[in-house]
Amino acid sequence: MEIYDYIIVGGGTAGCVLANRLTACGQYDVLVLEAGGEPRSMWIDMPAGFSKLLTNERYNWRFHTEPEANTLNRVISVPRGKGLGGSTLINGMIFVRGQPGDYDAWADAGAAGWNYAQVEPYFRRMETFAGAGEGRGRTGPMSVVPVRERYPITQAFIEAGRNWGLPYNEDYNGGTQEGVGYYQATQRAGRRWSAYDAYLKPARRRKNLDILTGTHVLGLDIEGRECRGVRFQAGGQARKVRARRSVVLSAGALQSPQLLELSGIGRPEVLRGAGIEIRHVLNGVGENYIDHFCTRMNWRLKGISTLNEMSRDWRLGAALLHYLTRGRGFLTLGTGLVNGFVRTRPELATPDVQYFFMHASYANAAERMLDRKPGMTLGVSQMRPQSVGSIHVRSPDARDAPVIRPNFLASAVDQETLVAGMRIGRQIVETEPVRQYVVEEASPGGKVQTDAQWLEFARENGQTIYHPIGTCRMGEDEGAVVDSRLRVRGIGGLRVVDASVMPSMISGNVQAAVMMLAERGADLILQDAAQPA
């Protein structure tokens, strides 16, 4: 049987970071197990190609939520990246550190060592930021650039935001988040720059790193209170591999808790209900599921060009040529062009709502199908949702998708904040200079005026924006799954390092926080390895 010092389960965002950092010193043999394959699609490199990957089963697990009353029993798509690079292969590339208070809250909740002063150096270490601003990294592996494309309607939206009362903010990751401005994206020379590009690809030449793709992990080998290795299937063959030091789960907020439960670690009632033998009781496994819920407001426009028309007929061919020869144009755009971080109540110390502005409107928001007439979209998301759901195994079969119950909009705070955010978004669009280009508000439309009507619109149309976290929560209390050093409580030789360990949601898109977490997680693993046995 093959033996490695460390086995990393999952070659996604966190797994790529860990593989690089744990092999850099040359002292440890590392194996990465990834269910997907190599990132070889042309749609991955082209930022606008993310829309083509939302339904691509080769690069997307294509999970779905269970029907829930809070969202009118709709089944909501939950895309998760599949392949080396994980969700950084298919995401919108938006880079947001969050607010300092997010990480201070982690520490206050029992995650010792994770306050902002302690994690901020890892943000700087991982990035090469191409924009202006203090306190940003300049030599890290992850390329972060301000969105380069500028359009008259985006400039008009920024000016409208300023006229409404928001400051212009050139760098929302530089210390103060509030304001309006252009997003920052994980790109290089107009191409997507994934965790695979930044971390795993440079490490592949190292002799102490092995990578197996097309492997489906079936469970963990647990002996007593120790994790000794991993069971998986590859090429139709069942295999085992052992770890001298540790198995590290980096399968993400959906699949890391699923693998723990498949291995008999979790809530007794869940395991018994799925027909799985109980090996170790950890009641927090699969609980504390938190995600960002987003509504999208659309407007019909006049007298100005939008992506709806730019991306059709001969113009799409011209744009493709421009992109291939110069790395510029609208094919370099992801899911957000202009940002807004706003406070829905003046007494709040920091923003609680995030805007995603694009000069495009969607006939089908979930599938990213554009309208034919000129339009624009404002995505509205509450940044720190209080609604908490769960994810649990459906059966003992590792190939069965888990049961996802996000419990969106269960909290009155979430409802009130989202309604207030949508109202403010409408007010900004009704402010000059954007107002002069508006023909009508297509969705939700002027008929929506009361709080109850706004909330019903959210229930009918809102979608996840693919930021699930928290299902293997970090902390020191009985409900925590891992301790502050990311070790699974009560099981030796097993850690979890991915978005699932986040105790609470950060204020914005989560990919930057996941990479930071993996950077610091690698340091913790190496520190423990250096201690005497």
Q: Where are the domains of the chain?
A: 1-143+191-291+388-408+470-533, 148-182+293-382+409-461
Secondary structure (3-state) at 39: coil
| 146: phi then psi, degrees, rounded to nearest 5 | -65, 140
Q: Identify the pLDDT of residue 327.
A: 86
The pLDDT, as a whole number, for residue 471 is: 98
Alpha carbons 354 and 376: distance in angstroms, whole number: 16
| 467 catalytic per annotation | yes
User: Between 3.90.1300.10, 3.40.1280.10, 3.90.1150.10, 3.30.410.40, what CATH number should domain 148-182+293-382+409-461 receive?
Assistant: 3.30.410.40
Task: Quote the pLDDT of residue 310.
Answer: 83
pLDDT of residue 55: 84
CA distance 49 to 299: 24
The pLDDT score that the predictor gives to residue 370 is 79
Tell me which amino acid residue 370 is.
L
Selected catalytic residue, list 280, 292, 359, 467: 467
How far is residue 391 from each of residues 271, 285, 468, 513, measured CA to CA in Å?
Answer: 13, 9, 10, 21
pLDDT at 134: 87
**pLDDT at residue number 236:** 86
pLDDT at position 365: 55
Dihedral over Cα of 455, 457, 460, 462: its sign: negative
- Domain 1-143+191-291+388-408+470-533: CATH class, spelled out: alpha beta
Q: Which residues of 361-395 are buried (b: 16+ CB within 10 A; e: fewer)?
A: bbeebbebebbeebbbbbbbbbbbbebbbbbbbee
Residues (pLDDT < 50) of the chain are: none
Predicted model pTM: 0.96
**Is 1-143+191-291+388-408+470-533's fold the same as 148-182+293-382+409-461's?**
no
For residues 320 and 43, is the Cβ–Cβ distance under 8 A? Answer: no
